[in-house]
């Protein structure tokens, strides 16, 4: 189940993600099983992930982001243009310590 984040925690994670490069790029094929596997591995390793999405229109882009969040059990932190920031806390030894509300 995806983590519910407060506005303070989202702001903190957006600040951490600012300098990150997009690790994954979603192309014309959309959300594939291979892409979900890679995203899951990247989230397990980094906890915070930037994804660039090349979709024709806004509705399709939002659908792809929602599907990726659902299939990777991650939380959408922010979406700016074609870039989405996803977060999933590690089950053991979390890297990112979130601020309290």
The total number of structural domains that make up the chain: 1
Greatest alpha-carbon pair distance for the chain in Å reads 39
What is the CATH number for 52?
3.30.110.60
Q: How far apart are CA 95 and CA 30, in angstroms?
A: 29
Per-residue pLDDT of the chain (101 residues; tens, 9 = 90+): 567 888 899 999 999 999 999 888 998 888 899 999 999 999 999 999 999 998 878 999 999 999 999 999 999 999 998 999 999 998 888 888 888 87
The pTM of the full predicted model, rounded to 2 decimals, is: 0.90
For 53, phi then psi, to 5°, come to -120, 120
State the residue range of the domain holding 32: 7-87
For residue 59 the two structure tokens come to: 């509705």
């Amino acid at each position: 189940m995806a983590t519910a984040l407060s506005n303070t925690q989202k702001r903190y994670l957006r600040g951490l993600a600012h300098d990150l490069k997009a690790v994954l790029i979603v192309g014309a094929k959309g959300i594939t099983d291979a892409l979900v596997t890679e995203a899951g591995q990247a989230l397990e390793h980094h906890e915070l992930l930037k994804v660039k999405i090349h979709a024709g229109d806004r509705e399709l882009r939002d659908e792809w982001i929602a599907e990726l969040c659902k299939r990777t059990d991650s939380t959408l932190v922010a979406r700016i243009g074609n870039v989405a920031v996803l977060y999933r806390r590690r089950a053991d030894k979390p890297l990112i310590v979130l601020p309290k509300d």
